[in-house]
């Protein structure tokens, strides 16, 4: 299995509550950045494909919070493909502080038609790129 894609994250004051702890929803934002940059690294500049009338949307997310991140922490967000289907991809994602996992999630992203919002097959080029990255 390939090493997960990874990006650095710095915790800023805008990410925290009054006590300096990262607000829970921001972990999902960090994961979104990691998925977006992962897809960008495969040659796709945008997570949506409006020129093809398609969108990639989060279908579901199962998140486990293990530890809190704090103001000014240096974190790392990872994204790896857990399961690839014709119309959806499931990512296994983690937020790390040093060698400790502080948050992890399984995020399913579906391909939908922009006009109807109904599921449809991933374009062959993206499917092939994702399959090669598994």
φ, ψ dihedrals at 71, nearest 5°: -50, 130
Map tokens 């934002």 to a residue. 29
Residue 130's SS3 state is helix
Catalytic residues: 17
**What does each C-alpha distance from 3 to 19, 38, 50, 114, 126 come to in angstroms?**
35, 12, 30, 32, 19
Angle at 107 between CA 103 and CA 112, to 5 degrees: 155
Tell me which long-range contacts 22-26 makes (C-beta under 8 A, separation of at least 24).
Answer: 22/68, 22/69, 22/70, 22/73, 24/65
């Amino acid at each position: 299995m390939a090493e997960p894609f990874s990006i650095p994250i710095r915790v800023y004051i805008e990410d925290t509550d009054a006590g300096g702890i990262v607000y829970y929803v921001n972990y999902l934002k960090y994961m979104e950045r990691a998925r977006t940059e992962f897809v960008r690294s495969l040659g796709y500049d945008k997570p949506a494909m409006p020129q093809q009338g398609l969108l990639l949307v989060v279908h579901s997310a199962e998140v486990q919070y293990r530890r809190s991140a704090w103001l000014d922490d240096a974190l790392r967000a990872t994204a790896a493909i857990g399961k690839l289907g014709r119309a959806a991809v499931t990512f296994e994602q983690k937020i790390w502080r040093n060698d400790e996992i502080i948050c992890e999630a399984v995020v399913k992203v579906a391909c939908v038609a922009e006009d109807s919002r109904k599921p449809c097959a991933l374009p062959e080029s993206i499917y092939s790129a994702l399959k090669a990255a598994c």
